[in-house]
Amino acid sequence: MSFADEVYKVLKDVPMGKVTTYKALGEKLGTKAYRAVGQALKNNPYAPEAPCHRVVRSDGSIGGFMGKIEGTEIERKIAILESEGVTVVGGRIVDFNKILFEG
């Protein structure tokens, strides 16, 4: 199984209404290659079953989506998160520690 496939497999455990971080996914996979996790998510062929929109930065900020860090892609990520009950204000997750899934 490729590294990317391992990322997608672990990501499928993140439930609706929760978020995880690039770092938490990397740690779950036994690596500190957090940017490699982001690269795998950028090319996620299994979305939305592997919900890459639920991955944010360790400080609770939105991070990237579909290879972008601003613009309509980020607006879409925020809209998807909000449709799942996650509140985003000023590009950050509200109550981040309460909805953080580190599984």
Q: Which residues are catalytic?
A: 52
DSSP 82: H
Contact yes or no for 61/92 (Cβ under 8 A): yes
Q: How far apart are CA 22 and CA 33, in angstroms?
A: 9
100: amino acid identity, one letter: L
